[in-house]
Structure formats: C-alpha cells, structure tokens
Amino acid sequence: MSTYTKFPDVWIYTLRARSATAADWSVAAYLLERGRFQTYVTLPRTTLRLHHTTLARSVNKLAQWGLIQEKRRHRKAPVIRPLYLSPRQPGGQA
C-alpha cells in the first residue's frame, strides 16, 4: 500500500466547507485509500483507533454530505462505498 492518496476535489471542498473534525478527515483518508482497490470498503474500528461513537458520527456526516453510501449491518463493521472517485487508469497500478 502506498503512502500517497489522492483526494478528489469534491471531498476537499466538502470537508473544508463543513465542520469536519480530525476524525472525519482520517475516516475519509482511509476510505479513499482503500477505495482505490475495491468498490466497497469495510470500515473496522480497530484499524482507525477511533471510539465506536466517533466512527459512527463521522460515517453519518460523510453520508449526509453525499460523499459515501453506507450499509449498516447489525453488530458488524459498516460497508461503505466512496463516491466521486476517479476511474481506474489503464496501465496504472490502480
């Protein structure tokens, strides 16, 4: 996994215009990093080291702002589809 993740302009404008917290930015960075390789991302709490209410609040904010689509599962990590990602380029790594 590379250390460089490209943020789409829509995500940057939305996160800056809204009252995005550090947790929102870290969730967004994780989703964009994983979203390069898969359409749906499972969001485990332990990977981000966030409290479950903080993670749920950040996911709710990103969904309300239209940056992601979420699928809640009972007692499991949510499955999330990041929106506004650029399509995969031919001949590239991803």
pTM: 0.84
**pLDDT per residue over 21-58, tens digit each?**
999 999 999 999 898 888 899 988 888 899 999 999 99
From start to end of the chain, where are the E strands?
A: 41-42, 68-71, 79-82
Average pLDDT taken over every residue of the chain: 87
Checking if the pLDDT of 94 tops 90, the result is no
* Distance between CA atoms of residues 48 and 69, nearest Å: 19
Q: What is the pLDDT of residue 2?
A: 55
More confident residue, 88 or 17: 17
Q: How far is CA 65 from CA 35, 51, 79, 89, in A?
A: 18, 21, 17, 27
- Under a CB-based contact definition with an 8 Å cutoff, are residues 55 and 61 in contact? no
Per-residue buried b or exposed e for 20-42, using 16+ beta carbons within 10 Å of the residue's own CB:
beebbebbbebbbbbbbeeeebe
Q: What is the pLDDT of residue 83?
A: 92
Checking if the pLDDT of 62 tops 70, the result is yes
Q: What is the pLDDT of residue 90?
A: 55
